[in-house]
């Protein structure tokens, strides 16, 4: 009798573990070769000190950046407040380059549109698909988010993207 109970418990354990593994792996994405890939998610903090050259703006921002390696897109939410209540938001972008770094400016890669021109706001969106080169730059820490204002048109706050 004891042997039947032990065998029954073992089979129940195997079935339970199999079910857990099935749900775990079905939640993962796979690339074209069948390798498991995971989304990358990071919080980006924007400030004037990260601008190149740095500025004395008291403006701040927070960006939630989620990179989907299958779709090669970025889903983002950016919340910002400019340093001056009389300033207006002029532009915002993702910047990057092959030689991009925290201490240099890089060209605009993807513009962010549809934002309010008020001195504070929140915007969410999904980018176009990135090229393979852009993916390598992004994952290599060579990209940043930037908010430009009427008082600092070259860039008021910047946040370097590091996964």
pLDDT at 33: 64
SS (H, E, C) 16-51: HHHHHHHHHHHCCEECCCCCEECCEEEEEEEEHHHC
- Give me the pLDDT at residue 23, please: 41
Q: What is the DSSP string of 42-81?
A: EEEEEEGGGSSS------EEEEEEEEETTTTEEEEEEEEE
Rounded to whole angstroms, the Cα distance separating 40 from 18 reads: 27
- Give the pLDDT of residue 103: 94
- Given CATH 2.60.40, say whether it is the number of domain 39-161: yes
**pTM: predicted TM-score of the whole model, two decimal places:** 0.78
Residue ranges of the chain whose pLDDT lies below 70: 1-36
Domain borders along the chain are: 1-36, 39-161
Specify the pLDDT at position 16: 47
pLDDT computed for residue 24 by the predictor: 42
């Amino acid at each position: 009798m004891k042997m039947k109970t032990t065998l029954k418990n073992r089979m129940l354990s195997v079935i339970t573990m199999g079910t857990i593994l099935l749900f775990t792996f079905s939640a993962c994405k796979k690339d074209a070769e069948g390798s498991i890939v995971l989304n990358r998610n990071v919080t980006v903090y924007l400030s004037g000190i990260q601008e190149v050259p740095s500025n004395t703006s008291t403006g701040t921002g927070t960006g939630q950046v989620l990179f989907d390696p299958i779709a090669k897109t970025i889903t983002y939410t950016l919340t910002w407040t400019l340093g001056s209540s009389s300033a207006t938001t002029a532009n915002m972008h993702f910047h990057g380059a092959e030689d991009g770094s925290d201490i240099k400016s890089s060209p605009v890669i993807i513009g962010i549109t549809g934002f309010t021109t008020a001195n504070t706001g929140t915007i969410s969106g999904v980018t176009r698909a990135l090229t393979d080169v852009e993916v390598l730059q992004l994952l290599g820490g060579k990209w940043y988010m930037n908010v430009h204002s009427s008082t600092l048109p070259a860039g008021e706050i910047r946040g370097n993207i590091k996964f």
